[in-house]
């Protein structure tokens, strides 16, 4: 897989916090699996991970 920004092939699998906002509130999800480009630092998430993050955020919004 290549970086979408710089096209480098050096991507490292890791976890990072995912930040989102909801109104005036911040939502932070810790330890989200991702790949980070070792050249430019761009963070890439798989479609499955983003679907799961979206599901978590939707549940949080329902609780408020």
pLDDT of res. 1 = 82
Q: Which residue, chain included where needed, has tokens 């991970």?
A: 49
What pLDDT tens digit does each residue of the chain (64 aa) get? Answer: 889 999 999 999 999 999 999 889 999 999 999 999 999 999 999 999 999 999 999 999 898 7
For 21, phi and psi rounded to 5 degrees? -120, 155
Name, in order, each residue with C-beta under 8 angstroms of 5's C-beta and a sequence gap of 6 or more.
37, 40, 42
């Amino acid at each position: 897989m290549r970086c979408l920004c710089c096209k480098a092939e050096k991507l490292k699998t890791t976890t990072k916090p995912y930040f989102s906002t909801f109104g005036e509130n911040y939502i932070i999800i810790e330890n989200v699996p991702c790949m980070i480009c070792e050249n430019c630092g761009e963070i890439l998430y798989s479609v499955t991970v983003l679907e799961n993050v979206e599901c978590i955020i939707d549940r949080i919004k329902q609780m408020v």
